[in-house]
C-alpha cells in the first residue's frame, strides 16, 4: 500500500499545491502539558525535560548515551516563531512544509510532518549527532539514521531489551503498552502489550499521512494502530529520506526510507 502511495506522491511532484486559507484549529488542537504516561520502573525518565515554543512540555528518557523525547513532537511553530501550516485539504508537497493531525488526540499522538517541515531548510545529515535542529526545540535536534542505529544497537546489546534472546528483537522495548493492534506473532510489538516499553521510549502507532488515491492530490491518515514512522535527518536520494519504522506484527525496528511529501512522526534528541 505505502509503496503504491509513494509512486502517487511522486506523480504530483510537479503539480501546484492548492491555495487555501489556513484551517482554523479546533479546541483539541491546543495542548501544553506533557502526555500522562505510566513509565516503567526500568526507564531512566527525565520529567519535563524540554518545552517547545508553543509551551508544550515533553518528558524524556535516557537510553544508553542518548536522551530522547518520550512523546511525539506536537509543535505548530518553529523555534524562531514561524508557523508550520496545516496540510489537510492541500496537495501533498515535497517543497512546502506541512503538519497534519493524525487524530483528535494531538497531546498523545503529536502531529505528522512532511520531511520539508522537519528540516526547516537545513541540509540533510547522517552525522552523529546530526547537527540539524530543524523543527526541534532549542538544545535538541532531529536524529540521523546513524543516531537511530545507535539506539537500536544499544538495545540489541541489552538482554533486558531483547525478546527470546534474539538481538534484533528489540521493538517491544521501545514501543508503548497501549494503542497497538494485537498480534499473534511471537515477540511482535502487538503481542502481550504489557511487556512492552522497557526503555520508556513509548513509540505509538500513529501511522502516516499520505495520498488517498490518484488523481486525488490530498490525503488522509493510514495505519493507525499498525505502524509508527519517525523521520531522520538523513536522506536516501533527492526525494526520499530515512525513517525508523515499527509495526505491530514486527519484532525489530527498521531504518528504511520514505518520500519527502509523506507525513510522519518526529522524536527529537538532546544535543
Q: Can you tell me which residue has the cell 508537497? A: 93
pLDDT at 91: 87
Extract the C-alpha cell encoding 208. Answer: 502516516
User: Which candidate, 107, 74, 98, 103, places its Cα nearest to that of 268?
Assistant: 74
H or E element that contains 145: helix 145-156
Q: Is 32 inside any structural domain?
A: no
Extract the C-alpha cell encoding 7. Answer: 509512486
Contact 59, 38 (CB under 8 A): no
Q: Is 264 inside any structural domain?
A: yes
pLDDT at 33: 62
pLDDT at 23: 37
pLDDT at 8: 46
For the CA atoms of 179, 41, 47, 114, the dihedral, rounded to the nearest 10 degrees, stands at -30
Sign for the CA dihedral angle at 173, 155, 143, 246 comes to negative
pLDDT at 38: 83
Cα–Cα dist 197/229, whole Å: 17
Q: Is 27 inside any structural domain?
A: no
User: Which candidate, 142, 167, 147, 145, places its Cα nearest to that of 155?
Assistant: 167
Cα–Cα dist 188/1, whole Å: 21
pLDDT at 220: 84
pLDDT at 105: 82
Q: Is 31 inside any structural domain?
A: no
Q: Is 29 inside any structural domain?
A: no
pLDDT at 51: 97
pLDDT at 126: 98
Please give the distance of CA 51 from its chain centroid, rounded to a whole number: 18
Q: What are phi and psi of 160, to 5 degrees?
A: -70, -20
Q: What is the pLDDT of residues 73-130, one digit of tens each?
A: 999 999 999 999 999 988 899 999 999 998 668 888 999 999 999 999 999 999 999 9
Domain count, the chain: 1
Identify the domain containing residue 210 by its residue range: 2-13+37-270
pLDDT at 214: 58
* Residues of the chain under the 70 pLDDT cut: 1-36, 103-104, 213-218
Per-residue exposure over 41-51, b if at least 16 CB sit within 10 Å of its own CB, e if not: eebeebeebbe
Per-residue exposure over 187-212, b if at least 16 CB sit within 10 Å of its own CB, e if not: bbbbbebeebbbbbbbbbbbbbbbbe
Contact 7, 1 (CB under 8 A): no
Q: Can you tell me which residue has the cell 508557523? A: 83
Amino acid at each position: 500500500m505505502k509503496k503504491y502511495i509513494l509512486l502517487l506522491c511522486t506523480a504530483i511532484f510537479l503539480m501546484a499545491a492548492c491555495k487555501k486559507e489556513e484551517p482554523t484549529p479546533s479546541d483539541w488542537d491546543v495542548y501544553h502539558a506533557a502526555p500522562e504516561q505510566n513509565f516503567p520502573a526500568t526507564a531512566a525518565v527525565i520529567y519535563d525535560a524540554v518545552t517547545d515554543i508553543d509551551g508544550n512540555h515533553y518528558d524524556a528518557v535516557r537510553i544508553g548515551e542518548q536522551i530522547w523525547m518520550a512523546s511525539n513532537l506536537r509543535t505548530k511553530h518553529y523555534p524562531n516563531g514561524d508557523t508550520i501550516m496545516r496540510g489537510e485539504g492541500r496537495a501533498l508537497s515535497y517543497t512546502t512544509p506541512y503538519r497534519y493531525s493524525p487524530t483528535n488526540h494531538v497531546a498523545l499522538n503529536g502531529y505528522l510532518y512532511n520531511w520539508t517541515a522537519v528540516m526547516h531548510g537545513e541540509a540533510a545529515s547522517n552525522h552523529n549527532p546530526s547537527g540539524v535542529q530543524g523543527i526541534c526545540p532549542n538544545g535538541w535536534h532531529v536524529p540521523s539514521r546513524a543516531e537511530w542505529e545507535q539506539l537500536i544497537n544499544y538495545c540489541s546489546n541489552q538482554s533486558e531489551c531483547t525478546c527470546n534472546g534474539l538481538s534484533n528483537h528489540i521493538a517491544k522495548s521501545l514501543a508503548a503498552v497501549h494503542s497497538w493492534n494485537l498480534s499473534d506473532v511471537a515477540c511482535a510489538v502487538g503481542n502481550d502489550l504489557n511487556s512492552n516499553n522497557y526503555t520508556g521510549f513509548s513509540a505509538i502507532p500513529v501511522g502516516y499521512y499520505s495520498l488517498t488515491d490518484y488523481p486525488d492530490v490530498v490525503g488522509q491518515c493510514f495505519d493507525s494502530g499498525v505502524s509508527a514512522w519517525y523521520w531522520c535527518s538523513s536522506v536516501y536520494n533527492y526525494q526520499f529520506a530515512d525513517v525508523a519504522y515499527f509495526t505491530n506484527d514486527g519484532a525489530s525496528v527498521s531504518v528504511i526510507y520514505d518520500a519527502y511529501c509523506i507525513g510522519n512522526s518526529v522524536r527529537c534528541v538532546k544535543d
